[in-house]
Amino acid sequence: MDLFTIMQAAEGGVKGIAAIGAGLAAIGAGIGVGRIGGSALESMARQPEMLGDIRTNMIIAAALVEGVALFAVVIALLQG
């Protein structure tokens, strides 16, 4: 299958490409938020007296990562 036929297939209405993209972004965001949560838990266990600060920073970082995944969601919605 050469490039032309692939492009033709894509133009001929391959549905759900945007959904696959959103899924890939969700993988990335999952890894990101998972790492943030994991390290936050580790540092909370190590220094329970810093619990409040760590939690706040964890939420901020998680929100920033999540924002990227939501960009993908918005693009997927726009693409249909």
The footprint of another protein (CB under 8 A) covers: 52, 56, 59-60, 63-64, 66-67, 70-71, 73-74, 77, 80
Nearer residue to another protein within complex by CB, 6 or 60: 60
Nearer residue to another protein within complex by CB, 7 or 71: 71
- Least gap, CB of 45 to another protein (angstroms): 22
Count Cβ atoms within 10 A of the Cβ of residue 22 and give its class: 0-12 exposed, 13-18 middle, 19 or more buried.
buried
The torsion of the CA quartet 56, 60, 65, 71, rounded to 10 degrees, works out to 140
